[in-house]
Each structure stands twice: as structure tokens, then as C-alpha cells.
Chains A and B, each alone.
Chain A
Amino acid sequence: MLNVSDILETINMIREENLDIRTITMGISLLDCVSDDENVLCDRIYDKITKSAENLVSVGCDIEKQYGVPIVNKRVSVTPVSLVGGRISSDGYVKVAKALQRAAETLGINFIGGFSALVHKGMTPADRNLINAIPQALCETELVCSSVNVASTKAGINMDAISVMGDVIKETAYITRDRGSIGCAKLVVFANAAEDNPFMAGAFHGVGEPDRVINVGVSGPGVVSSAIARAGDCDLSELADIIKKTAFKITRVGQLVAHEAASRLNTPFGIIDLSLAPTPAVGDSVAHILENMGLEICGTHGTTAALAMLNDAVKKGGVMASSHVGGLSGAFIPVSEDAGMINAVQQGALSIEKLEAMTAVCSVGLDMIAIPGDTSKDVICGIIADEISIGVANTKTTAVRVIPAYGKTVGDDVNFGGLLGHAPVIALRDASPAKFIARGGRIPAPIHSLKN
């Protein structure tokens, strides 16, 4: 039986507090597209994606109308492309990226993820060719997202791959310099990458997944923030309960939408990703949640504790609301996509070191952070190695998506537009880790990975 206060609460969450479904992402396997001819490969990939997801956008829009809840993004993730590329050259991989772009345009989706390679223990020639193609692929496409998994708790950290990624990030920033080095905003370096993550830019369709699958990412920082604001001066146990209850309600909507989408698209339901994903819009900020919890500004002492509690409570509330939880599932802290984070960096309250500490207790990593354009490759590799080791040691996903904004320096602002937002360039340490990075090799897996 419905009652008036429940109805009004739901409508208020959607209309005033920005409750939305952040993404419906269809995972599509490309394993059956393999060919030794790159043109045939591209055609098969285009055909498979456009056929599999031909109704994704229209079904998403219908569900949006039916339940009155915005579904912000409809997206596709595919099998890591290096697994289907076989012996094609780097130029061949750029062609594949363009085929992915064409498929995304045909479908009307706003991102397609999976221009990816999994190299946590080493690289095949195919992986190497794909990785070499990343700068050109991201320059010549708009909707294609790329990710590279360079470490796992089981395998350790592939420092050779991190060294290569330092060069790739620099090159991508340079060749997209006329657009704020935006190529780097579509490139993620992972540890323990999730195979069912629906969020971009790191989504890809893992090899253990079915032919097609629907994964849904919920959101709602504004809803949590408002609930905390209404709670007043309660203690932290009560606050955790309030966050849990709110996360439960948000996730229930995600579950409803996911089941409806899976059923209408005749595709298996995969997972709900319980993430608080901010947008640059006012009232949709994770930093503001932390500030509503009692911090004067995000980034000050106490931020990591507040974020750890928030992240844990969101998971506890969400997990009962969904039949399958997966993906990244935690609070995101992308600087450029969060009005409160942007403000905290501009005020000098939030440093890269604090962001790194925060990533130890939430998903997902150093995300959408603009760094000076003249940052050396070695410093970028050092940033990646630090962040990746947090993921490996804590058996969690971490990632780095930094943008060395060409021609920009500390304090400048880089605008990426749309959901990607804008970011003030953040200060880094000057001293070089070059000798450490140049050693190469693999950092062994931590002792607690030996669980068998």
C-alpha cells in the first residue's frame, strides 16, 4: 500500500536531489568476431555491437518514462580488444577503435569501453600493439574509452607496463592538446580491474562474462547529502544508519531498472554497481556529503575517516537491495566531475597525497585529476605505481586517470565539457623517481595473495 509521504519522498529524491540511474551498460562479448583480416574484424565488431544493442537506447528511454527516474547514460562495454586483435598491427587497432566509434554513433550511446588490454603479468605482442595504438585511437575517436590493467593482487605489479603507460599518457595528452588533452580523460590504468564495471572510462566486458549482459550503475550523492543534512547533530552510528537506509532506497531503484532493462532487452542481468558517482552539477557532489558530515572542507584532516564510513555504509545499505552486486561499488572521487572536489583543490585544501589516501578506503582511484603539462613520464609512472600498490596490497580495484594538461601549470583550469567537467591543475612533488621506474620488472604479489 502506497502512502503519501513515501510518494513525496521518492519524487523529491528525483526532482530535487538528483537521484538518477547513472548508466545502463550492456556488456558484449567480441570473442566470436575474431578474424585474421583487420577489415573483416572491424565489420564483425561493428555488426555484433549494433545488432546486440540496437534497442538499448530506446529501451532506456522507455524505462526512464515509465518510472520517472532519469537514466543518464546508455553505454556499451566490450571484450578487451587486445584479446580479439590477433596479429593485427597498431594501425589495425586504430581501425578497430574507429569501428567502435561508428558503432557507438549508430546506437546513440555516449561512451563505449573496452579498447583495453590486461597485462598485469606481462604483455603479448597483441597487447603491445594495442597499447601503442591508444594515443592515436583516443585522438581519432570521441566515444571510445580505453583501459589497461597493469597489476593484480595475485600477479603483482607489472612495472614494465607502468613504464609504457607513462609514455602512452604523455603522448595521448600531447596529440589531444588542442582539446585540453582530453584523450587522457578516456584512459584508465587499473589494478585489479573489475570485469563487470558499468562505469566509464574503465568499463570492459570480462572473458568470464556471458555473450551479452546488462550491468547498471546507480548514483545519488545528492540524496545521501540531503539525508545527512536533515539528520542534524546525531552521532556517527546514527549517521551510518541514515546513509545505509538511503543507499538501500537508491539501490532498489537500480535493481528495478536493471531487471526491467534486462527483461526488455532479452539479456541476462549481471550486476548492480553500488557507487556514489558525482556529476559537476550543484547538489551532486561526494565532497559535499563529507562536508555535510562535519568537515569544514573536503581534504582536511578527518576526510579519509569520513569517506571510509560513507563508503562502508553505502555498501551495507545497497547490498541487501540487490540480488547481485559487483563492479566497483563504492564512492567515486573524480576531481573534475565533483563541484566540491574542484572547490577543495582550488582552495588548496585537497592535495594529491590526500586524494591518494582517500582511494585506500573507497573506489576507485586517482580519478580525473589534471596535473601540470610538463610533468615527466617518470613522475606519472610514480603516481601510477603508488596508486596501483594501494589496490594490490588491499585486494581492491584502484585506478589512475590523470590528465597532464598540455601547456597548463598549477592553478590553471582545464575544461573537458559535459559530464567530464573541469579541473584545476594540481601540484605534484618535484623529485624524480626515474631510477626506481627504470628498474622495470615485476613487483611480486603480496604474501596475503597466497590464499589457497
Chain B
Amino acid sequence: MKAVITVTGKDAMGIIAKVSAECADKGANIVEITQSVLSEYFAMIMIADIDSLKIPFSDFVDSLDEIGKSAGLVINTMHEDIFSTMHHV
């Protein structure tokens, strides 16, 4: 199972480091990252394998949300199924 983590907000030092450290700490293995900086805005999409997650997925969502709030970013963490269900028949 995979999670899709999107991070958007004003560019700042160490955004990728913060999110990836949290993923490693909670047992989510990042398998893909795409990111871009447009003007001063930062947008990143991560795909993480969550089969070995050490905490319930909903707690993982909350922990990333907390990091986002403390860094002035918007972090959405969602199970991949919502994307594949919506866009693939």
C-alpha cells in the first residue's frame, strides 16, 4: 500500500528533510519524489510505501499535518486508492 503526500507552501530551508525524516521515523519508505519551486512557492509530491508503518495511518496523517502547520506548509497525506479509483476505470 502506498500513500501520496503532497506538500505546498512558501519555499523554506529543509522542507524535504523535515518530511522525509518524519517518514523514516514512522516507517514510511519514500519511493518517489517530484518537486518544483515556482516563484517563491514550493510544491512536492511524494509516494511512500506504508506497508511497514509503525503507527496507524490516521496518526501518520496527523503527524505530517502537525509538521506542515509548524512550518507554514499545507501537507495532505492520502491513501493512493482515492487517486487510482477516481482516475482509472
Q: Are these two chains actual partners, yes or no?
A: yes
- Chain A interface residues toward B at CB < 8 A: 2, 4, 6-11, 15, 61-62, 65-69, 249, 252-253, 255-256
A256 touches B81 (CB 8 A): yes
In the A-B complex, the 9 residue pairs with the closest CB atoms: A68-B78, A65-B58, A67-B82, A6-B87, A256-B85, A249-B86, A66-B79, A252-B85, A252-B86
Known: A2-B4, A2-B47, A62-B58. A67 touches B78 (CB 8 A): yes
**Cβ distance B78 to chain A, nearest Cβ, rounded Å:** 4
**Cβ distance B37 to chain A, nearest Cβ, rounded Å:** 15
Q: Which residues of A contact B58 (CB under 8 A)?
A: 61-62, 65-66
Q: Chain B interface: which size bin?
A: 20 to 34
B45 touches A7 (CB 8 A): yes
Within 8 A of A (CB), among B37-62: 45, 47, 57-58, 61-62
* Chain B residue nearest in CB terms to A64: B58
A10 touches B57 (CB 8 A): no
**Cβ distance A22 to chain B, nearest Cβ, rounded Å:** 16
CA distance A256 to B78 in the complex (A): 13
28 A-B pairs with CB atoms under 8 Å apart are A2-B80, A4-B45, A6-B83, A6-B86, A6-B87, A7-B4, A7-B6, A7-B45, A7-B83, A8-B6, A9-B87, A10-B87, A11-B76, A11-B78, A15-B76, A61-B58, A65-B61, A65-B62, A66-B57, A66-B58, A66-B78, A67-B78, A67-B81, A67-B82, A69-B78, A252-B86, A253-B85, A255-B85
B82 touches A65 (CB 8 A): no
Q: Which residues of B contact A68 (CB under 8 A)?
A: 61, 76-79, 82
* Chain A residue nearest in CB terms to B87: A6
Q: Which residues of B contact A253 (CB under 8 A)?
A: 82, 85-86
* Chain A residue nearest in CB terms to B61: A65
Q: Which residues of A contact B70 (CB under 8 A)?
A: none
- Chain B interface residues toward A at CB < 8 A: 4, 6, 34, 45, 47, 57-58, 61-62, 76-87
Additional pairs, 9, CB under 8 Å, beyond known A15-B76, A68-B79, A256-B81: A2-B87, A7-B6, A7-B45, A7-B83, A11-B6, A66-B78, A67-B78, A68-B76, A68-B77
CA distance A4 to B76 in the complex (A): 14
Q: Which residues of B contact A252 (CB under 8 A)?
A: 85-86
**Cβ distance B25 to chain A, nearest Cβ, rounded Å:** 19
**Cβ distance B46 to chain A, nearest Cβ, rounded Å:** 11
**Cβ distance A197 to chain B, nearest Cβ, rounded Å:** 24
* Chain B residue nearest in CB terms to A256: B85
* Chain A residue nearest in CB terms to B47: A2
A2 touches B77 (CB 8 A): no
CA distance A9 to B6 in the complex (A): 12
Q: Which residues of B contact A11 (CB under 8 A)?
A: 6, 76, 78
CA distance A69 to B4 in the complex (A): 13
CA distance A9 to B78 in the complex (A): 13
CA distance A10 to B86 in the complex (A): 8
Known: A62-B58, A249-B87. A67 touches B4 (CB 8 A): no
